[in-house]
A and B are shown apart, each in its own frame.
Chain A
């Protein structure tokens, strides 16, 4: 390798979504030289796709009066089915209001409170008071006792990312877009940075830093059908797992969003239901009150998705060439509301369904959406197992969400974790001097150069990367979904093991020169299969139901045996992950009833 290719900074942030940029800003404001790596320009990150909003207990609107971080905390813990770290949840709920207000200071056009009386779609009369006029408006989301979700129409992620990136630009933080971290440089004790590939040229370079932060988001595209962007392939989680010493937490906790449109699998926001939209079956019957008399359509996502699929299994789905679906009905909210507060939903329905949702029903089905699991960190965002490695946002298992994340808590997590972890990163980088063993960097570079050379030589093996990948996608989709059984999960593990073995023998059809897409797919696939095995094997081992992890053969939560977090390690050369467990940190609220999702789903559905 050529040492002049090395890029050195104080802090290296991998991923330029909201979490990554917020960490970078905190470090830069503390005087550190920061480099952000990103697969795409920051403003194309998947964070921009978030629609509905960000939870923070401001208590600005009529249905949110009296809200405070205590209530937000309780909602979050119940939502997580007691799987979250309560110390983290507490810190998060206290800091979220500050985060929202700081974003306003940075230019986010939050929708604002308009005082006056109005009647909600369910007939309740409310009045927003004059004294709150012009403060940040809030809407209802699932699993919350108060209206708490701050929003900017339904393009909240977009405006947050643009405001955040404007601060990154203002501070002069270096952003290297079209760059992918393909392995971490470490000695089993400390992380020194990453080997990265330039996606403009296909060349690799070492990026060295005092502190490295993984903020690469989720892995949704490993499921054949997902609301996620095509860049969400779990690359950051995979390179952390690849070290052999950093574990991934709770990978079996996978969120399915109730309302992905059919067939495009594009999200329409939970705000549709929060604002009064309802779910209908093939008989145009509103079925959610039958299952959840209190919360109806706005129980937590795991619960609503489960009932939707249950209802489809009972034969009440609407048949379509793409399989059965249900209807989301927002027509009664009226064009005035839809064309302002649900404007992007309106556009998505026009673009991808060819319908006007002011007048037509929206075909929806629960769709893979979010990963509660990720790089396991402590409450400061420090990764287990390696010094100088941090993680934040969806890529991390911090662990704010436990086994089910509340809507509106992911945008909030990216920013709040960005602040909190960023502060720790800044302190850490301030205490360290930059040291790295030359030979270690050269070895890490040589190992990756060899991988590339092997693939480009097209000598070993005969396996097609796209064929194996599609098989992985189908396996997760069919066997590791909303309803899980021991038999299905065992089959998934066996299939994925076979695919992982075959993935050692990939052969490119094209030359693999430069930033060749087939080469990139081949580089990523083994890591994706390792993640898929962590998910499936973790789900097989966890013989209980908790939050989004629902075992038909073990339909009850089992706090006696499973009030613990799965930690998946992958020792170099092993064919399978090594699963360990740790207790869940419960400081305030002991396990109890969630207040929804209690009705048993009958066996033999």
Chain B
């Protein structure tokens, strides 16, 4: 790997200057040991083009800021090492989300909107009593909730999803996983019927066409297909129950 000269082909477009059309711009860098796309893109910015826009926050693959298309596949740039890549690396912004500029996309607004739409918070009639000890929970349940809660809302599963790319109203694997998280949480008192209104539709779990790219590309390795299947099963049971009682 020593002495490799890497070519980066980077998508450029700045909405502030709409007269300059979107384009691919090429840069070259000498590869260094342990180089990640975090290191490479920052070097491009500081040494060659200080106007280059991209998003990094934690640079440790835990905050979800730096998802982009890397040689065509959604992934987190901070944990992508150049040693695992060919000499030529193409980076483009994640699709589906609104472009802020160059490689930067607006995931914040998208995810907040979906969190509001799916009411992704604990629904309970219980009132917190600061004087009493905590309600008990068995540890396997806590771990199962944690497993789903590990989602970092990076958007890789959304950018990779054929349905989400075709239809703006599809909530995608991230939110079906989020729904599954609340379904298994005993603190959330929502009856299954309540979830049905939100996800028992084409915009929700029945919009999935089963290509499984979400599962393949999740940087947190959350078993998204399993989570989707869980929600789908719950919804199907609910639908059958409604049919019987009708």
Contact = CB atoms under 8 A, between A and B. Distances in A.
Interface stretch (B59-67, B205-213, B230-238): B59-67
Contact of B60 (A100, A159, A352): A352
A514 interface: yes
Interface in A501-550: 508-511, 513-518, 521
B51 interface: yes
Interface string A74-103: 000000000000000000000000101110
B48 to A, nearest CB: 10
A347 B61 contact: yes
Given A48-B63, A135-B134, A159-B149, A113 B56 contact: no
B52 interface: yes
B107 A510 contact: no
Nearest to B53: A517
A109 B51 CA distance: 42
Interface residues of B, number: 62
Nearest to B126: A105
B246 interface: no
A187 interface: no
Interface in B81-124: 100-101, 106-109, 111-112, 115-116, 119-122, 124
A177 interface: yes
A55 to B, nearest CB: 16
Interface stretch (B4-12, B137-145, B162-170, B195-203): B137-145
Interface centre among B50, B132, B145 (most CB of A within 10 A): B50
Contacts of A134: 136-139
B101 A508 contact: no
Interface stretch (A162-170, A283-291, A381-389, A434-442): A162-170
A133 B136 contact: yes
Given A107-B121, A229-B58, A178 B51 contact: no
A424 interface: no
Nearest to B16: A514
Nearest to B144: A109
B115 A158 contact: no
A153 interface: yes
Interface in A189-246: 200-202, 229-231
B21 interface: no
Interface stretch (A4-12, A39-47, A273-281, A480-488): A39-47
B152 A229 contact: no
Contacts of A513: 14, 16-17
Nearest to A267: B60
Interface residues of A, number: 72
B79 interface: yes
Contact of A41 (B15, B17, B112, B136): B112
B184 to A, nearest CB: 10
A335 interface: no
A158 B55 CA distance: 19
B239 to A, nearest CB: 27
A345 to B, nearest CB: 11
A169 B57 contact: no
A16 B61 CA distance: 20
A104 B153 CA distance: 22
Interface string A104-128: 1111011111100000000000000
Contacts of B130: 98, 101-102
B65 to A, nearest CB: 5
A518 B51 contact: yes
A46 B57 contact: yes
Contacts, number: 190
B170 to A, nearest CB: 20
Interface string A338-375: 00100010011001100000000000000000000000
A496 to B, nearest CB: 20
A398 B187 CA distance: 34
A466 interface: yes
A521 B133 CA distance: 48
Contact of A40 (B45, B59, B65): B65
Contacts of B152: 43, 48, 158
A49 B138 CA distance: 26
A44 B17 contact: no
B58 A41 contact: no
A506 to B, nearest CB: 12
A49 B115 CA distance: 21
A31 B136 CA distance: 31
A230 B56 contact: yes
B57 A517 contact: no
Residue of B107, B122, B146 with most partner-chain A CB within 10 A: B146
Contacts of B109: 177
A70 to B, nearest CB: 19
Interface string A37-74: 00011111110110000000010000000000000000
A103 to B, nearest CB: 9
B40 to A, nearest CB: 14
Given A158-B150, A166-B115, A466-B46, A112 B136 contact: yes
Contacts of A230: 56-59
Nearest to B116: A169
Contacts of A112: 136-139, 142
Contacts of A201: 16
A169 B152 CA distance: 17
A391 interface: no
Contacts of A177: 108-109
B26 interface: no
Contact of B135 (A104, A159, A264, A344): A104
Given A44-B57, A266-B59, A351 B142 contact: no
A431 B41 CA distance: 49
A522 to B, nearest CB: 9
B100 A200 contact: yes
Contacts of B149: 109, 152, 155, 158-159, 162
Given A102-B130, A109-B137, 4 more contacts: A41-B108, A46-B57, A112-B139, A231-B57
7 contacts: A46-B57, A58-B133, A102-B128, A102-B130, A200-B100, A267-B60, A513-B14
Interface of B: 14-17, 33-34, 45-46, 49-53, 55-65, 79, 100-101, 106-109, 111-112, 115-116, 119-122, 124, 126, 128, 130, 132-139, 142-143, 145-146, 149-150, 152-153, 185, 187-188
